[in-house]
């Protein structure tokens, strides 16, 4: 049932702008990795048609439910619907939690397990979800403008690395198989892209609480949000390249590593990115928790609701753990996408039993989210004190003495020990088969731990060496702006000069985040 809460159109519009573009950009940019680039523009058109039909159907069925008078007595049918709806929301919440914890780990908490990350996220969502949709709307209003400013900074600082020529690959239709095969691909890919607009169920729940609804409010808000989402997707594709996204060597997080101001000033606004990830992720997760809590509360007729909510949260976490146990990450994502398309979306139309709980406004939600963001980001950025960390700013890779072996040289910047605390440069060289082994070797041989979050230059001896290491290094430095230089004997050429300053003066280089976006790179 609908709770009697009132929402202004401005608050509704802010909520839609937070929910819809983020979901659409994420789905659009991961689709090529699983289904390829072929017929992408036709698939996008199909997705828009599906989204239009979905919005109309949701509005019809949910507006009728909202107009129903609350029943004093519950039937067996109502109980069955609550069971199905509560289970559905638990599975969907588990999927969102799985995706959010995975992104958070790769972005800022690489040293932590997914479970350690997922638990505080779920607790924050549970706290907010216990306040109902009215409190959630207050949260959207509180974080809206800072989210907008963060998004503008994120995309605005990446303009320098845009390549609009990448969009040609989106409109091309490749001759793979018969016409029937192409049509089936369009339908499958359009269905996957449609996952980005499945948040419309949440949007509709909020819209039905808007005061003095007028014709055009819903479609204007949704239309603007979808347009922003498509523009954001185009931005990511133009920055990272369709070839790299299709190959799976890059994902949306690489956009962070492409951020550079026009004058060549490199920035590392990781805190802003973390804020956007957590805000959008929790904004998508919390409505599911609100509805799930509502379903289990109705099942218990508000008696023993705390225990029922705890059991529901346990089910959410179990779904998330099950997805972690799936052997391959790609398989887990395909299972999640298949469930949402084949089960969740139909049930959203069949069982639009909207239940909104809680009448108290959410006064502390923003503080809770900020507190969680700080506890999540600070360990990743300042896991150790400055005195116990060695910071590398240049990484040089050369061929090793054996096949599959490479010579890694780290240029370390540290304090000299003089009274004036000036910095000095030293070099660490080791032979290893991967950069992860370099980390392990360094930590074994030194009292201080190695920190590579401040690496600004990656120098490779030749294109082959770069090509053989690019995938691992890209994952390692995805959230930092790193310039790639390919030349022999750079350390010898720099001599006793500061290596970073020498590279900055003598080499233009290429951005690591955008490297390899064209087919044929490294060849």
CA-closest candidate to residue 106, choices 515, 483, 479:
479
Residue 138 has pLDDT above 70, yes or no: yes
The pLDDT of residue 451 is 82
476 pLDDT band, cuts 50/70/90, is confident
Q: Which of 237-241, 382-386, 502-506 has the lowest mean pLDDT?
A: 382-386
Pair 465, 395: CB distance under 8 Å: no
pLDDT greater at residue 260 or residue 179: 260
Supply the Cα-derived Rg of the chain in whole angstroms.
25
Residue 470 has pLDDT above 60, yes or no: yes
pLDDT greater at residue 346 or residue 12: 12
Residue 363 has pLDDT above 50, yes or no: no
Mean pLDDT of 476-497: 83
304 pLDDT band, cuts 50/70/90, is low
Token pair for residue 522? Answer: 């490294």
What is the rounded CA–CA span in Å between residue 150 and residue 156? 10
For helices 270-299 and 132-156, the axis angle rounded to 10 degrees is 160
pLDDT, tens digit (0-9, with 9 covering 90-100), for 46-95: 778 888 888 888 777 777 666 554 544 455 666 777 788 888 889 999 89
Pair 78, 71: CB distance under 8 Å: yes
What does the H/E/C string look like for 208-269?
Answer: CCECCCCCCHHHHHHHHHHHHHHHHHHHHHHHHCHHHHHHCCCCHHHHHHHCECCCCCECCC
pLDDT greater at residue 516 or residue 3: 516
Mean pLDDT of 21-48: 76
Pair 310, 289: CB distance under 8 Å: no
pLDDT greater at residue 316 or residue 242: 316
Q: Give the rounded percent of residues in the chain with a pLDDT score beyond 90.
A: 1
Residue 134 has pLDDT above 70, yes or no: yes
Q: Which of 70-84, 188-202, 459-473 has the lowest mean pLDDT?
A: 70-84
Residue 463 has pLDDT above 80, yes or no: yes
Residue 372 has pLDDT above 80, yes or no: no
Mean pLDDT of 197-211: 82
What is the rounded CA–CA span in Å between residue 203 and residue 275? 22
DSSP codes of every residue in 366-434: HHHHHHHHHHHHHHHH-SS-GGGEEEEEEEEEEE-SSTT-EEEEEEEEEE-SSTT--EEEEEEEEEESS
pTM attached to this predicted model: 0.73
Q: Which of 112-126, 154-168, 312-326, 496-510 has the lowest mean pLDDT?
A: 154-168
Residue 500 has pLDDT above 70, yes or no: yes
264 pLDDT band, cuts 50/70/90, is low
354 pLDDT band, cuts 50/70/90, is very low
The pLDDT of residue 374 is 45
Residue 490 has pLDDT above 50, yes or no: yes
Token pair for residue 69? Answer: 């008078």
Mean pLDDT of 131-157: 82
What is the rounded CA–CA span in Å between residue 75 and residue 80? 9
The pLDDT of residue 170 is 65
DSSP codes of every residue in 144-189: HHHHHHHHHHHHHTTGGG--GGGGHHHH-----S-HHHHHHHHHHH
The pLDDT of residue 356 is 36
What is the rounded CA–CA span in Å between residue 267 and residue 146? 18
Judged by DSSP in three states, 514 sits in coil
The pLDDT of residue 315 is 92
Q: What architecture (CATH level 2) is domain 9-373?
A: Up-down Bundle (1.20)
Q: Give the rounded percent of residues in the chain with a pLDDT score beyond 70.
A: 76
Mean pLDDT of 512-519: 73
What is the rounded CA–CA span in Å between residue 435 and residue 412? 16
Q: Which of 162-176, 317-331, 355-369 has the lowest mean pLDDT?
A: 355-369
Pair 169, 242: CB distance under 8 Å: yes
Mean pLDDT of 135-145: 84
What is the rounded CA–CA span in Å between residue 93 and residue 45? 28
38 pLDDT band, cuts 50/70/90, is low
β 406-415/457-460 pair status:
unpaired
DSSP codes of every residue in 421-473: --EEEEEEEEEESSHHHHHHHHHHH-SSEEE-TT--EEEESSHHHHHHHHHHH
The pLDDT of residue 190 is 73
Mean pLDDT of 155-176: 69
User: Which residue ranges make up each domain of the chain?
Assistant: 9-373, 386-511
Distance of CA 31 to the CA centre of its chain: 14
303 pLDDT band, cuts 50/70/90, is low
Element (H, E) at 274: helix 270-299
What is the rounded CA–CA span in Å between residue 446 and residue 449? 7
- Phi first, then psi: give them for residue 291, nearest 5 degrees: -70, -40
The pLDDT of residue 257 is 77
Residue 383 has pLDDT above 50, yes or no: no
């Amino acid at each position: 049932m609908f709770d009697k809460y009132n929402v202004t159109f401005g608050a509704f519009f802010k909520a839609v702008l937070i929910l819809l573009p983020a979901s659409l950009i994420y789905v659009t940019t991961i689709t090529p990795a699983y289904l390829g680039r072929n017929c992408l523009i036709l698939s996008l058109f199909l997705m828009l048609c599906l989204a239009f039909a979905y919005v109309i159907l949701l509005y019809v069925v949910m507006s009728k439910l909202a107009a129903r008078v609350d029943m004093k007595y519950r039937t067996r049918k109502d109980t069955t619907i609550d069971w199905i709806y509560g289970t559905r929301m638990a599975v969907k919440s588990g999927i969102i939690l799985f995706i959010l914890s995975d992104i958070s780990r790769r972005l800022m908490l690489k040293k932590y397990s997914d479970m350690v990350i997922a638990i505080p996220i779920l607790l924050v969502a549970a706290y907010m979800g216990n306040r109902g949709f009215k409190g959630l709307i207050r949260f959207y209003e509180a974080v809206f403008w800072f989210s907008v400013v963060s998004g503008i900074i994120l995309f605005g600082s990446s303009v320098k690395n845009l390549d609009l020529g990448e969009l040609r690959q989106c409109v091309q239709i490749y001759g793979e198989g018969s016409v029937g095969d192409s049509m089936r691909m369009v339908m499958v890919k359009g269905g996957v892209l449609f996952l980005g607009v499945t948040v419309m169920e949440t949007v509709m729940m909020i819209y039905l609480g808007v005061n003095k609804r007028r014709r055009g409010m819903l479609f204007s808000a949704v239309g603007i949000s979808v347009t922003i989402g498509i523009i954001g997707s185009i931005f990511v594709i133009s920055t990272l390249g369709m070839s790299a996204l299709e190959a799976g060597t890059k994902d949306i997080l690489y956009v962070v590593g492409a951020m550079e101001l026009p004058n060549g000033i490199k920035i590392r606004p990781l805190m802003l990115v973390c804020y956007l990830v957590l805000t959008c992720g929790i904004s998508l997760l919390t409505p599911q928790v609100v509805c799930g809590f509502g379903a289990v509360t109705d099942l218990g007729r508000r008696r023993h609701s705390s225990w029922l909510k705890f059991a529901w949260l346990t089910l959410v976490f179990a779904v998330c753990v099950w997805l972690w146990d799936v052997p391959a990450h790609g398989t887990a994502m395909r299972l999640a996408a298949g469930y949402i398309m084949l089960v969740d979306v139909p049930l959203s139309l069949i069982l639009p039993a909207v239940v909104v709980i809680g009448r108290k406004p959410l006064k502390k939600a923003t503080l809770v989210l900020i507190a969680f963001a700080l506890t999540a980001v600070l360990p990743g950025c300042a896991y150790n004190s400055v005195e116990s960390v060695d910071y590398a700013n240049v990484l040089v890779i050369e061929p090793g003495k054996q096949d599959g072996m490479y010579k890694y040289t780290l240029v370390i910047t540290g304090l000299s020990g003089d009274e004036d605390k000036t910095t000095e440069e030293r070099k660490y060289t080791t032979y290893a088969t991967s950069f992860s082994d370099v980390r392990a070797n360094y930590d074994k041989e030194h009292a201080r731990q190695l920190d590579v979050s401040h690496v600004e230059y990656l120098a490779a001896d030749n294109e082959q060496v770069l090509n053989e290491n690019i995938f691992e290094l890209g994952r390692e430095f995805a959230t930092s702006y790193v310039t790639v230089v390919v030349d022999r004997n750079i350390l010898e050429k720099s001599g006793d000069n500061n290596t970073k300053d020498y590279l900055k003066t003598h080499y233009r280089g290429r951005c690591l985040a955008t490297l390899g976006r064209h087919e044929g790179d490294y060849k």
